[in-house]
Amino acid sequence: MIERYPVVVIGAGQAGLSVSYYLKQRRIKHIVLEQARIADAWRTKRWDSFCLVTPNWQCRLPDFPYPGNDPDGFMLKEEIVAYVEAFASSFGAPVREGVSVRAVSRARDGYLLETSSGRMLAGQVVVAAGAYHHPLLPPGAGEIPDDIVQLHSSDYRNPGALPAGEVLVGGSGQSGCQIAEDLHLAGRRVHLCLGDAPRSPRMYRGKDVVAWLDDLKYYDTPIDVHPDVDMVRHKTNHYLTGRDGGREIDLREFARQGMRLYGFLEGVAGDTLSFAPDVKARLDSADATYNGIRALIDKHIHDNGIRAPEEPPYVPPWQPTTSPTQLNLRDAGITSVIWCFGFRPDFSFIQVPVFDARGYPRYQRGVTESLGLYFIGLPWLHTWGSGRFAGVAADAQYLCDQIAVVLARPDQAARRA
Ligand SMILES: Cc1cc2nc3c(=O)[nH]c(=O)nc-3n(C[C@H](O)[C@H](O)[C@H](O)COP(=O)(O)OP(=O)(O)OC[C@H]3O[C@@H](n4cnc5c(N)ncnc54)[C@H](O)[C@@H]3O)c2cc1C
């Protein structure tokens, strides 16, 4: 006998659990299959000092807002895991842990799932498997000699776990900047090669910038109002941190304190890395976004007659005098390299033709053209908050409405079984 469910949800992170919550509210029978444990990505893919970059008040899982007493703070890794686990327990989410879905294909009246514990049939399937599957490494990384430790950001834990010596951090997105800071604060000499990530202020004119942007309805804006959907969906996140109560990250300040900055990584040949000579241009570009966000908030304050304290303009604390184009890791005493170039999603286990040429699913707000197949939890699936704690509840509710519509269709009665 093959097990059969009206709905199967793949993945028990915040997205899959949010879908489960609304399905349960509607009394739609379902199961959540999780290859590891609830909240596994928060548990196993983040470094030890990891904390949220978004404030706790933005953690608004369905009917389960952040329960602690520090809404303006930033939960640490263990607190995030506990929050997601508590949400799952709050409604008795029907999660089966340790079951990996290896393939999903079309079947009569739904989908066939090949799982690590056998075959299963589903009337409808929600893919909530996250977006961060394969770590990205630069071409040539394999050429770096074995005695230099190489890690991806998802495997970095803490400075003490690295061999003594200097560290190269590749990539200056959120993870790269925070890991560079983690090492810098621990007294390690860090060499950081810059990418195209913009930076954001943390506090400005008396309030966290996230709160200002929330007032401006930035987080509710659907992706389709943007002229270039692809660019918005795949662009690098702004860097700032929630560490120690939250602060902005200014790489110029780190450079003033001894961090070595390099331009865009152009090549790796053995133990020598080459870079574009563009440190100044990259710092200036990150600062332009930073100043643009401030200007946006200034305008909002002015237009709405809001009383808010003034702040002096940003003055760069450091300017590069050179932009090195080569770095020999051994000569510099670098014993570890941490690549923070992000991830590539991999949905190849979904064997249904709903993907574009790059393997990214085609959907309208998570609803694919294959009846009863949905995606959730992807960055900018619908709004900025779709791939975060802030907006996943609204997306989950929307998908559950669509699931209910399909179940109610007289010609789809077989999917209810
Ligand atoms: C470094 C980093 C920092 C972030 N910081 C923030 C932040 O400050 N604030 C914020 O709101 N968001 C942040 N995010 C974004 C987002 O909140 C997280 O990525 C979050 O984990 C996404 O939740 P999810 O449920 O969509 O996916 P995941 O948490 O990735 O959950 C997917 C689950 O699916 C399971 N799974 C995958 N494939 C299968 C399969 N084939 N079969 C069975 N199970 C499967 C996985 O084991 C996993 O448990 C951050 C992300 C990263 C990477």
Tens digits of per-residue pLDDT, 193-212?
999 999 999 999 999 999 99
> Tokens 């560490």 sit at which residue?
243
* Residue 266 near residue 227 (C-beta atoms within 8 A): no
Contacts of 45 (CB under 8 A, 6+ apart): 132, 154
Q: What percent of the chain has pLDDT over 90?
A: 94
Choice between 186 and 237, residue whose per-residue pLDDT is larger: 186
Q: What is the overall mean pLDDT for the chain?
A: 96
Model pLDDT, residue 230: 82
pLDDT tens profile 260-285: 999 999 999 999 999 999 999 999 99
Distances (CA, A) of 334 to 184, 339, 409: 14, 14, 63
| Pairing label, strands 149-152, 166-170 | unpaired
Burial of 334 (0-12, 13-18, 19+ CB in 10 A): buried
Q: Render pLDDT for 367-400 as a digit per residue (tens, 0 to 9).
A: 999 999 999 999 999 999 999 999 999 999 999 9
Amino acid at 275: F
Q: Tell me how far the alpha carbon of residue 50 lies from the centroid of ligand 1, in angstroms.
A: 14
- Closest residue by Cα to atom 16, ligand 1, is 388
Q: For 297-326, what is the mean pLDDT? A: 97
Which residue has a Cα nearest atom 35 of ligand 1?
A: 11
Q: What is the pLDDT of residue 323?
A: 96
What is residue 173's predicted lDDT score, i.e. its pLDDT? 95
Q: What is the pLDDT of residue 416?
A: 84
Residues 6+ apart with CB under 8 A from 105: 111, 112, 351, 352
pLDDT for 236 equals: 84
Residue 397 DSSP SS3:
helix
Ligand 1 centroid–CA 130 distance in Å is 5
Given a cut of 90, whether residue 225 has pLDDT beyond it is no
Nearest CA residue ID for atom 15, ligand 1: 388
Strand order across the beta sheet in which 190-193 lies: 149-152, 334-339, 166-170, 190-193, 260-262
Say what angle helices 77-90 and 14-25 make with each other, to 10 degrees.
20
Residue nearest to atom 20 of ligand 1 (CA): 388
Q: What pLDDT is recorded for position 210?
A: 97
Whether residue 233 has pLDDT greater than 90? no
CA 32 – ligand 1 centroid, Å:
15
Q: Specify the pLDDT at position 84.
A: 98
Å from CA of 332 to ligand 1 middle: 36
pTM of the model: 0.96
For 33, the token pair is: 């299959």
pLDDT at position 174 is 94
Convert the pLDDT of each residue in 244-254 to its tens digit: 999 999 999 99
Q: Do 14 and 377 form a contact (C-beta atoms < 8 A)?
A: yes
Measured from the Cα of 11, ligand 1's closest atom is: 34
Q: How far is the CA of 312 from the centre of ligand 1 (A)?
A: 38
Three-state DSSP class for residue 134: strand
Q: What torsion, rounded to 10 degrees, do the Cα atoms 39, 45, 48, 52 define?
A: -60
Q: Return d(Cα 185, Cα 164) in angstroms, integer.
A: 15
Per-residue confidence at 226, pLDDT binned at 50, 70, 90?
A: confident
Residue of 1 and 85 predicted with greater confidence:
85
pLDDT digits 0-9 by tens, 108-163: 999 999 999 999 999 999 999 999 999 999 999 999 999 999 999 999 999 999 99
Ligand 1 atom nearest to CA at 389: 11
pLDDT band for position 234 (50/70/90)?
Answer: confident
The pLDDT score that the predictor gives to residue 46 is: 97
d(CA 12, CA 17): 6
| Ligand 1 pocket residues where CB is under 6 Å | 10-16, 33-36, 40-42, 52-54, 100-101, 128-130, 132, 175, 349, 377, 387-390
Q: How far is the CA of 167 from the centre of ligand 1 (A)?
A: 27
Please enumerate in sequence order all residues whose Cβ is within 8 A of that of 109, keeping only pairs 6 or more positions apart, or say none: 123, 412, 414, 415, 417
Q: DSSP letter at 332? A: T
Residue 5 is predicted with a pLDDT of 97
Report, as an integer, the average pLDDT of 330-342: 97
